[in-house]
Amino acid sequence: MKSEVYFVKAESSDLEKRQEALKRLIEEIKPFADYKKDEFIPVKLTIGDSTCVYNVSPELVKTVIHYIKLKQTKPFLFDTSVIYQGQRQNAVDHLNLAQSKGFGHSRVGCPFIVADGVFGKDGREFELDSGVIKKIKTPSFVGMVDNLVVLSHATGHIVSIYAGALKNVAMGMSCRPTKQVQHSLLKPSVIEKKCVACGCCIAICPVKAIALKDKKADINKDVCVGCGECLCACKFDAIFINWHEDPLVFGQRMAEVAGFILSQFKRKFFINFAFDITQECDCISTKDEKMVAQNLGILASADPLALDKATADLARKYKKTNFLLENEQIYEKMFSYAASKGLGNLEYNLIEL
């Protein structure tokens, strides 16, 4: 049976018109009708790094929170720490960035939480019965609450080509070691000419896999667990991660992680904001980022796979460049793998409101 994907056009860049479209969508499909008083409602959101200006706006987030709070619930926004250089490596910088970008409580109506702790280490480990990833670590609340809302800005991506709801869950709802494993099974290496032997990576390594050798940091690959902590600790870009992992395997890992995390929630709802569709994701895009598709509107569904499939199909149809079209086999294979793992349907009914 086909999944239902709801769509409201919002081709304008005017924020008020986008808010009106979002309100119309929520009021017509009533996705939060089953919420109960005093329930905790985690709302997954990526605010983008400091250079990003195309992330989901605080005003749109405030609209979603408003409708959730009408049920007298306790919503909170959340994200997790990243493994690369930037202002989201730890909770202090991440929260300061969220405040500066307008995601403070007074602006959006609920708290913003960095769900994996101050340094991205807090969480629970789970074993997966998978041929591509065996263990994942998630924020501790996963499996403790019934509901989940995922707000995603549809973008391109350097590896998976397309990024939406599935990527937002797989990367954004996993702790840093799992982010690292999804990106690459290879272990970090040291770029010797950049290393200044400051010792920060040695101090932070959880398994003592790093030591000084000939006045340079040296990583023992037999001991290293690939957690990515050294990458975050290094202030001189001297730690190399193989970001160019086979994109098909990358997509499979994301599907496995997203599938497990989503299985821990009873009620899930996903909204994709398909405008300002940049070639790079919000982690690295800038104000000068190239747009790969026209402004489309807002799509929503209880099925994240059908939602991402519909979003990608529309973005290809109304393309501004050939980026999504020329590389479609990469994310389409990810979608097919996700379908084989039960994450949702590839077939959908697009219901325009």
In the chain, how many H helices and how many E strands? 12, 16
Residue 159: predicted pLDDT = 82
Model confidence at 249, in pLDDT bands (50, 70, 90)?
confident
Residue pair 88/52 in contact by the 8 Å Cβ criterion: no
Model confidence at 244, in pLDDT bands (50, 70, 90)?
low
Residue 151: predicted pLDDT = 98
Average pLDDT, the chain: 93
| CB proximity list for 52: less than 8 A, separation 6 or greater | 282, 283, 284, 285, 286
Least confident of 53-62, 89-98, 240-249, 327-336: 240-249
Residue 48: predicted pLDDT = 93
Q: For residue range 298-346, what is the model confidence (pLDDT) as tens digits?
A: 999 999 999 999 999 999 999 999 999 999 999 999 999 999 999 999 9
What whole-number percentage of the chain has pLDDT above 90? 78
pTM of the model: 0.86
Residue 56 pLDDT > 70, yes or no?
yes
Residue 192 pLDDT > 80, yes or no?
yes
More confident residue, 227 or 220: 220
Model confidence at 240, in pLDDT bands (50, 70, 90)?
confident
| CB proximity list for 63: less than 8 A, separation 6 or greater | 19, 22, 23, 26
Q: For residue range 85-114, what is the model confidence (pLDDT) as tens digits?
A: 678 989 999 999 999 999 999 999 999 999
Model confidence at 283, in pLDDT bands (50, 70, 90)?
confident
Residue 243: predicted pLDDT = 56
Residue 114: predicted pLDDT = 97
Strands 74-79 and 112-114: parallel
Report, as an integer, the average pLDDT of 218-238: 82
Calpha distance 61→151 (Å, rounded): 8
Angle between helices 176-183 and 165-172 (to 10 degrees): 120
Q: Is 193 helix (H, G, I), strand (E, B) or coil?
A: coil
Calpha distance 19→27 (Å, rounded): 12
Residue 232 pLDDT > 80, yes or no?
no
Tokens read off for 101? 């970008």
Q: DSSP readout, 46-99?
A: ----TT---SPPHHHHHHHHHHHHTTT-EEEEEE---SSSSTTSSHHHHHHHHH
More confident residue, 83 or 303: 303
Tokens read off for 241? 């991660």
Structural domains of the chain sorted by starting position, each given as residue range(s) with its CATH number in brackets: 3-181+245-352 (3.40.50.11440), 187-240 (3.30.70.20)
Residue 294 pLDDT > 60, yes or no?
yes
String of b and e for 241-262 (b: at least 16 CB within 10 Å)?
beeebebebbbbbbbbbbbbbb
String of b and e for 183-205 (b: at least 16 CB within 10 Å)?
bbeebbebeeeebeeeebbbeeb
| CB proximity list for 95: less than 8 A, separation 6 or greater | 112, 114
Residue 178: predicted pLDDT = 87
CA distance to 60, 68, 139, 295, per residue, from 74 (Å):
18, 8, 18, 32
Beta pairing partners, 9: 297
